[in-house]
Structure 1
Amino acid sequence: MSNSDAVDEPHAVGVAALIRRRLGECSPAERRVARTLLASYPSAGLGTVAALAERAEVSAPTVLRLLSRLGFGGYPEFQRALRDELAERETSPLTAYRASERGGTPPEGALPRAAAALPDAVAGTLADLPQGELDAAVRLLADQQLRVTAGGGRFSALFANYLVLHLMQVRGNSRLLPAGPVERADMLVDVGRRDLVVLFDFRRYEEPTLELARQVTARGARVVLFTDRWLSPVAGLAEVVLPARVDSPSPYDSFVPTLALVETLVTALMDRLGPVAGARLKAMEGAQQAFGGR
């Protein structure tokens, strides 16, 4: 990788996503550093090289070899990338709105801005996604012995609901995490090794989502995470991480790429299930007709 790639690629996909993408290329010692970084991201990378090496139980040269493999010219360059990400991941709609006000009203209208931003964001999301992560998510969802529970935040819960509605159609044994505390406790009290929890968590990450991930993984459940390129703290607990870009024509992050990612996952799942998905769809249509559904 050239020096220009060392700057451009982390900016495009995020440092954590880049680490996950290159994990399979690493030596065992480098993987220990990578997993240490991901488990406490980004704070684990903001200390000294010696501190990170000690935490990962490797030598300082091993840390530097990993960073070189990722395309960084050294530890200072790696830390600059992390600090830039920290600034970006703390951006709120209000901050973005004020920045756009200072820049004045764009000369083009909303439609041209959307036409410029959204297709690139979708294409970039799908191009950046490691095939191995998508395959791992499909394998888990295709295992019908696993009960699937999906949940999200204020906005991203919409995508948890959208995913579950598809899973009900093609594989069953899937449910949406309720908002109410009593209903949520009832649903989660028996979570264990036969559970798969799909979480949606995007920047300005929600602490209850992280705590939920801690609780369910401690009970043996597995987690699939949909997040942005800066990666939710849940990524350190997740078995599979599916990052999406959030480029938008407005001060709000766009969920259009996330929708594309969910639909890609559903498509891949149906491909894997094959006739099983078809039989389930036929049974669901029959049940809907029998019980007055549409």
Structure 2
Amino acid sequence: MSNPHPDEPHGVGVAALVRQRLGECSPAERRVARALLASYPAAGLGTVAALAERAEVSAPTVLRFLSRLGFGGYPEFQRALREELAERETSPLTAYRATERTGAPPEGALPRAAATLPEAVAGTLAELPQGELDAAVRLFADQQLRVTAAGGRFSTLLAHYLVLHLMQVRGNSRLLPAGPVERTDMLVDVGRRDLVVLFDFRRYEEATLALARNVTARGAKVVLFTDRWLSPVAGLAEVVLPSRVESPSPYDSFTPTLALVETLVAALIDRLGPVAGARLKAMEAAQQAFGEG
């Protein structure tokens, strides 16, 4: 990708780049961006004319938009999308087989982790637009919003970790349970006063996308934690918080996302101020009163 922006962060995916540049776009270019994100990446894999029609703009507007992103033309843009598609489909087994073919790196797991994880965390925090973090904090600070968090096979652990903190500092927060009856009971009344936090990472889960479609149709707002390739939920989310996933093993790392969750919690406490302190004090008192301390 030709890059007129020399300070562009390394490793940012096309969808994340679109979101980063959205504020610089003209109204017509923003329509292209939204059309692309609403059906990503499929909307960009057709012709220029098809994307222009979807966005209700002219073909030259699409090309101007891509130039703003740093692409030399439509073929270069589509090549980047196809490369992303291949990366999005990478599984732990695929990564393991690649290591089998090339042989395990000779330096060992500890040096690999020391080299990989700090850089992934630093990159995640550096690449996150301040505006996205601020928007997320504003939503979480609205205590009239009931927070429901959900994740996938592994990322449910991150959703649970976030909820445990939210219970401490703002209350009115819960983890979506696994059981179908309990899930239905929790979702049946979701509406405009709900904030749904979803964790969805590559080999994205169809059930998570279906959940996002359902709750947004009912008026709920969605905050999405995802990777740099962006879950399909990104097209429905009010706020998207992407993380790097580089890892010393065949598994994608959640360490950068954990750092992002803790950053969000810290920013939320700053925003709530004495309200967070009062909640923490009440929680401590309740723990002692009920013998849970």
> TM range, normalised to the smaller chain?
over 0.9
- Listed one character per residue, the Cα deviations across residues 12-69 of structure 1 (whole Å, up to 9, x for unaligned) are 1100000001101110000000000000000000000000000100000100011011
Aligned residue pairs, count: 293
Distance 1:145 1:115, change over 3 A: same
In structure 2, the residue matched to 1:238 is 237
TM-score by length of 2: 0.98
- Listed one character per residue, the Cα deviations across residues 195-237 of structure 1 (whole Å, up to 9, x for unaligned) are 0000000000001100000000000000000000000000010
Equivalent position amino acid for 2:60 in 1: P
In structure 2, the residue matched to 1:32 is 31
State the secondary structure of the residue aligned to 1:12. coil
Distance 1:7 1:103, change over 3 A: farther
In structure 1, the residue matched to 2:141 is 142
State the secondary structure of the residue aligned to 1:267. helix
State the secondary structure of the residue aligned to 2:291. coil
Equivalent position amino acid for 1:255 in 2: F
User: 1:15 & 1:113 partners in 2: Cα distance?
Assistant: 27
- How do 1:178-197 residues align onto structure 2 when only pairs under 5 Å count? 178-197=177-196
- Listed one character per residue, the Cα deviations across residues 67-103 of structure 1 (whole Å, up to 9, x for unaligned) are 0110111111100100000000000000000001111
- How do 1:5-44 residues align onto structure 2 when only pairs under 5 Å count? 9=8, 12-44=11-43
Superposed displacement of residue 8, structure 1: 9.7
CA contact (8 A) 1:6 1:72 kept: no
TM-score by length of 1: 0.98
Superposed displacement of residue 107, structure 1: 1.0
CA contact (8 A) 1:3 1:72 kept: yes
Superposed displacement of residue 106, structure 1: 1.1
User: 2:108 & 2:53 partners in 1: Cα distance?
Assistant: 53
User: 1:286 & 1:221 partners in 2: Cα distance?
Assistant: 33
Equivalent position amino acid for 1:39 in 2: A
User: 1:28 & 1:4 partners in 2: Cα distance?
Assistant: 23
User: 2:138 & 2:31 partners in 1: Cα distance?
Assistant: 25
In structure 1, the residue matched to 2:249 is 250
- How do 1:1-294 residues align onto structure 2 when only pairs under 5 Å count? 3-4=2-3, 9=8, 12-294=11-293
User: 1:231 & 1:215 partners in 2: Cα distance?
Assistant: 19
State the secondary structure of the residue aligned to 2:152. coil
User: 2:274 & 2:6 partners in 1: Cα distance?
Assistant: 46
**CA RMSD for the aligned pairs?**
1.4
State the secondary structure of the residue aligned to 1:13. coil
User: 1:95 & 1:81 partners in 2: Cα distance?
Assistant: 20
CA contact (8 A) 2:32 2:55 kept: yes
State the secondary structure of the residue aligned to 1:149. strand
- Listed one character per residue, the Cα deviations across residues 249-280 of structure 1 (whole Å, up to 9, x for unaligned) are 11000000000000000000000000000000
Seq. identity, %: 87
Superposed displacement of residue 116, structure 1: 0.5
CA contact (8 A) 1:227 1:243 kept: yes
Unaligned ranges ≥5, structure 1: none
Off by >6 Å, runs of 4+ in structure 1: none
Unaligned ranges ≥5, structure 2: none
User: 2:194 & 2:256 partners in 1: Cα distance?
Assistant: 27
